[in-house]
Amino acid sequence: MTALGSTRDFWPTWLKRDSSGRLRVPLEDASLYAVGHFLRSAEQSVLEMFSMGQVQGTTHTCIGQELCQMAVVRALTHVDDHVFSNHRNHGHFLTFSGNLDGLLSEVAGREGGVCQGYGGSQHLAIDGFHSNGVQAGMTAIAVGTALSLSRSSSEGIVAAVVGDGTLGEGLLYESLNLSGVWSAPILFVVENNRIAQTTPQAMALSGDIAARGSAFGLDTWRVSDCEKNFFVVVDEIVSEVRSKRRPGFLVIDTHRLGPHSKGDDLRDPAEIESIRQLDPLAALGNRLPRQERERIESTNNAFVSAALSNVLARSPVHRLRDWQPAPLLTQQRSTGKSPEGLTVAGAIGTALRDSLARHPRMLLLGEDLHDPYGGAFKITKGLSTSFPGRVISTPISEAGITGVGIGLALQGWHVVVEIMFADFLTLSIDQLCNHATKFPYLFDRDVALVMRSPAGGGRGYGPTHSQSPESIMASIPGLPVIYPSHRHDCGAILAAAITNCRSPVMFMEHKLLYQRPQDAGDFQCHSNADVTSLFPAMVRKSLNPDLTIVTYGGALILVEEVAKVLEQKEELSVEIVVPSLLTPQGINDALAAISTSRVCVVEECPGQFSIGSQMIAQLVAAPKKIAVRQVGASPVPIPSARTLEMDVLPNVDVIFTAALDMVLNS
């Protein structure tokens, strides 16, 4: 392929942007065909890059679905309108922005990509546009963005675009329900091409597609991209959603002419040919005079070819972003001293109250948070009365409300999402792992989201309401996990997370600590770094200590009892180190506080692949020889019966035996 010079030499006359940089497409056949053909030519150039071996990975083109992908996006003419797309996103992106160079560079991994090579084909972002490859994953985030628009009195709306294959995903239905409950200005668009990767719709879908929107009380429409007045109808639908400020559900019947991805089309050639005969783009072009159509096609092909040549002539991206999942650093340092007279629950509730007063653009989301109930553990009691409209009780939709929190955070809100029991965080993990923690890295966007959740056993709640999943959460790259004890200033730590963190944070609270006085006692604050100065470790020093016990959260209750027994009965001097920030920097800071060569790590979660295991791995790898022991829960479901629960969770006897054995045998 020969280079054709600057794309400016071939710039199509139809490629015009408004003052916000968005493409504007008039409602006339020539302009509509020009953009539709541009999309097809661009998609063919993407496939050409793959066939040339210039790129790796995969792609999902919209060949055959160009008009379907154009229609809603071109109707979004307000500066505050947003699009949340999926893996088949190129048509949406190009109709929104016209940025062919940015798209091709991103797919090819060359300099100039819209996400600097981090996103590739499926993960694209510019102001007002985001796409991700997880089916339905963006729908709740789109609802959160729409909720933000409704709270700002903007006339903007949101389009959340999915394929019919996504109708099997539960999060979609959580999102539909949430949008209806809150009357969010959002249009859900189902691009119905009647086939998933290879599975025909008849094998995977029960019931009527449009009825799904109606079931949630959404205004519902169904239209085909083969209809002559297709764009007019879609314009009217978008205008109706905008004027009514309530959610809608639009099904667009379309056909995928190309393969699911690069070359995995197993359909009968006769079926593909029948689709080709229905091609709505070709039908639109045939409404134009032949010379005008050929001129448009020639101009587009030259423009796309020049863009492709210029992109492939560039160097591949080599620079990794200097990005860390850390707070926005401040000069604030924690003293470790707690306000007098507060329980842990009281300190956390006070921190939420003070933060709501400090940040006008802050919201609390969670189940049953409103007065008079105030949450399952009464942490938010009184807040909905003091801050009307800013403490939002939600449906039981853990994944959905997490996604809504992400969408709000993308729009600049400080968001605290409460998951009633930490066991239920498993329902939120996709939103945290594949979305919230990815966006700062992929898209260079702040996501000021704090997830709060009560964890731990000891109250007889049984296997699904007693777990300690902090190690699961800590395994997610980009998700700092904070788990303070009653010796920390829990309120100050939570307030610091809300105020300072630009990326998602997991804040865990042990249920047994809620009614304990928050009191540093004889513990002192320890911090070696700017980040952990916000989230410090607490250390109880001892004169000439014989051993160190490292623990966190509610396990400190047991550790303090064990230390007392060791000191009184065995005359051993015990140092206790209690981090509040577990990942990413917290472990290093806690280990730096250790002054002995005997370390026992105690945690309530099972010990395999845990925070404690990571601590021990780092201790063993250190140059200094250190004897180690680990105590954690048995790797079985936590029983409800108190006698059985005590056998599964760490207890005083088990910790005492492990610590004493280490001293006697090292």
C-beta of residue 166 within 8 angstroms of C-beta of residue 185: no
* CA dist., res. 159 & res. 342, Å (int): 46
What are the tens digits of pLDDT across the range 216-252? 999 999 999 999 999 999 999 999 999 999 999 999 9
What are the tens digits of pLDDT across the range 604-634? 999 999 999 999 999 999 888 999 999 999 9
Write the CA distances from 92 to 131, 166, 238, 255, 603, integer angstroms. 9, 17, 15, 16, 48
Quick one: tokens of 335?
Answer: 């003293």
What is the signed CA dihedral for 123, 129, 134, 136, rounded to 10 degrees? -170
User: Which of 395, 366, 408, 364 has the alpha carbon at shortest distance from 143?
Assistant: 408
Write the CA distances from 117 to 443, 541, 563, integer angstroms. 10, 49, 52
pLDDT of residue 329: 43
What are the tens digits of pLDDT across the range 337-394? 556 689 999 999 999 999 999 999 999 999 999 999 999 999 999 999 999 999 999 9
Write the CA distances from 594 to 150, 488, 541, 578, 589, integer angstroms. 51, 18, 9, 10, 9
Task: Work out the angle between the directed axes of helices 90-97 and 100-108 (0-180°, nearest 10).
Answer: 140
pLDDT of residue 1: 36
Mapped onto helix, strand or coil, the DSSP state of residue 390 is coil
For strands 414-418 and 449-455, give the pairing. parallel
Amino acid of residue 57: G
* CA dist., res. 644 & res. 638, Å (int): 8
pLDDT of residue 180: 98
Mapped onto helix, strand or coil, the DSSP state of residue 531 is helix
Q: DSSP code of 320?
A: P
Q: Count other C-beta atoms under 10 Å from residue 429's C-beta.
A: 17
Taking residues 255-273, report their average pLDDT.
81
Q: DSSP code of 434?
A: I
Tally the C-alpha atoms within 13 A of residue 200's C-alpha that lie toward its C-beta: 6
* CA dist., res. 165 & res. 86, Å (int): 11
* CA dist., res. 399 & res. 411, Å (int): 19
pLDDT of residue 530: 56
Q: Which residues contact 665 (CB under 8 A, 6 or more apart)?
A: 627
Q: What is the CA radius of gyration of the chain?
A: 28
Burial of 459 (0-12, 13-18, 19+ CB in 10 A): middle
Taking residues 272-285, report their average pLDDT.
93
| Chain CA centroid to CA 251, Å | 26
Residue 197 has pLDDT above 60, yes or no: yes
Q: Count other C-beta atoms under 10 Å from residue 335's C-beta.
A: 11
pLDDT of residue 272: 83
Q: Percentage of residues in the chain with pLDDT exceeding 90? A: 81
Q: What is the 3-state secondary structure (H, E, C) of 203-264?
A: HCCCCCHHHHHHHCCCEEEEEECCCCCHHHHHHHHHHHHHHHCCCEEEEEECCCCCCCCCCC
pLDDT of residue 262: 76
Which residue segments constitute the domains of the chain, with CATH numbers given?
Answer: 7-312 (3.40.50.970), 344-521 (3.40.50.970), 533-664 (3.40.50.920)
> Whose structure tokens read 């709740």?
140
pLDDT of residue 3: 39
pLDDT of residue 331: 42
C-beta of residue 317 within 8 angstroms of C-beta of residue 117: yes
What are the tens digits of pLDDT across the range 150-184? 999 899 999 999 999 999 999 999 999 999 999 99
Name the E strands within 328-486: 362-366, 391-393, 414-418, 449-455, 481-482
Residue 323 has pLDDT above 50, yes or no: yes
Cis ω for the linkage preceding 372 (within 30 of 0)? yes
| Backbone torsions φ then ψ of 581, nearest 5 degrees | -95, 115
> Whose structure tokens read 């560039």?
314
Residue 114 has pLDDT above 50, yes or no: yes
Any bridge partners for residue 603, and if so which?
none
- Between 160 and 542, whose confidence is greater? 160
What are the tens digits of pLDDT across the range 560-606? 999 999 999 999 999 999 999 999 888 888 889 999 999 999 999 99
Any bridge partners for residue 392, and if so which?
365
C-beta of residue 128 within 8 angstroms of C-beta of residue 22: yes
pLDDT band at residue 308 under the 50/70/90 scheme: very high
Quick one: tokens of 438?
Answer: 């990815």
Residue 125 has pLDDT above 60, yes or no: yes
* CA dist., res. 380 & res. 536, Å (int): 25
Handedness of CA 374, 395, 435, 40 (dihedral sign): negative
